[in-house]
Amino acid sequence: MRLSAVAIAAAALLAGCGSGQSLPAQAPPALSKAPAEQIQVANGPIIIGPGPTPLAVKLAAPDMIRMPFHRQPRAGLLFDLDTGRVLWRRNPTRLLPIASLTKMMTALIVAANARPAELVHVTKEARNAPGSRVGLLPKRKPVRVESLLYGLLLPSGNDAAHALADKVAGGSRSFVGLMNAQAQKMGLSCTHYTSPDGYIDAGNHSCAVDLAALARAVLDNPRLARIVGSL
């Protein structure tokens, strides 16, 4: 049995991020079985889907373990990475702001649509993205997609998020449309995105059960699993 370290991190971050306000709880996500499809954006067709039915987590069974906390998180989830069975939960469908956990979806869409060696021209707007950044991104020299994915997932670079959004969809606004389409395709009914980086939480939210499914999808992708496993 492997326990998802990403799920544990999600529980901790959900406990502390945002303004402290939460939204009404949602029903657990319904799973999509539709095949992959394409969305047309300025840079050409973008792949979304399919819904990762085998990667959803299973809320039906009772918790197997107890998790004592000195201070209870507002929401969280611990699950078996191999089977998706939930071992412990607290408010698993409670809507909360997700900050940089947003970047899990950003990474999934980039990995599906850009090869590692493809080059990205980093715009001034991407270099000046507020919040956490990779930093030192060149003004004129292109950067490999894979290097930016490392910068996205390890130091949580907002500049990398916007540069990759530009590469894949021609801009952050179009990329956010892809993120929400992919969330719908995956049956993530708690989840809504307003940016590729999560720096501003207004309208950018999810719940622990959706984040667990996203974590399984990231770790099921060998390319992304290699990046997050390099810490």
**Exposure of 146 in the CB half-sphere (CA atoms within 13 A):** 10
- What pLDDT shows up at residue 69? 87
Amino acid at 138: P
pLDDT of residue 46: 52
> 10 to each of 13, 128, 142, 168, how far by Cα in Å?
5, 27, 33, 26
Give the pLDDT mean for 156-174: 96
Q: Read off the pLDDT of residues 113-131 as tens digits, 9 standing for 90 and up.
A: 999 999 999 999 999 999 9
Distance CA 144, CA 142 (A): 7
Nearest to 217 by CA among 105, 115, 110: 105
Instruction: Give DSSP secondary structure letters for 58-115.
Output: B-SSPPSS----SS--SSEEEEBTTT-BEEEEESTT-BEE-GGGGHHHHHHHHHHH--
Q: Which pLDDT score is estimated for 201?
A: 86
Confidence of residue 31 (pLDDT cuts 50, 70, 90): very low
Check pLDDT > 90 for residue 40: no
Strands 96-97 and 86-90, how do they pair?
A: unpaired
Q: How high is the pLDDT of residue 6? A: 43
Catalytic residue among 22, 33, 58, 100: 100
33 counts as catalytic: no
pLDDT band for position 1 (cuts 50, 70, 90): low
CA 79 to chain centre: 17
Q: What is the mean pLDDT of residues 151-177?
A: 96
Confirm if 157 and 181 have CB atoms less than 8 A apart.
no
> Per-residue pLDDT tens for 125-162?
999 999 999 988 888 889 999 999 999 999 999 999 99
Is 32 annotated as catalytic?
no
End-to-end CA separation in angstroms for the chain:
21
Question: Of residues 31 and 49, which shows the higher confidence score?
Answer: 49
Is residue 17 predicted with pLDDT exceeding 60? no
| The pLDDT of residue 38 | 53
Is 124 marked active-site?
no
Gyration radius of the chain over CA positions: 17
Out of 4, 32, 33, 103, which one is annotated catalytic?
Answer: 103
Distance CA 92, CA 223 (A): 28
Extents of the domains making up the chain? 5-228
**To the nearest whole number, what is the mean pLDDT of the chain?**
81
Name the pLDDT band for 35 (thresholds 50, 70, 90): very low
Catalytic residue (choose from 4, 33, 124, 156): 156
pLDDT band of residue 66 (cuts 50, 70, 90) is confident
pLDDT of residue 54: 60
Residues above pLDDT 70, as percent of the chain: 77
Residue 14, pLDDT > 70, answer no
Categorize the per-residue pLDDT at 228 as very low, low, confident or very high, splitting at 50, 70 and 90. Answer: very high
Work out the average pLDDT over 27-41.
Answer: 43
Q: Which of 89, 55, 63, 98 is nearest to 215 (CA)?
A: 55
Instruction: Say how far apart CA 227 and CA 223 lie, in whole Å.
Output: 7
CA 9 to chain centre: 13
Whether domain 5-228 has CATH 3.20.20.70: no
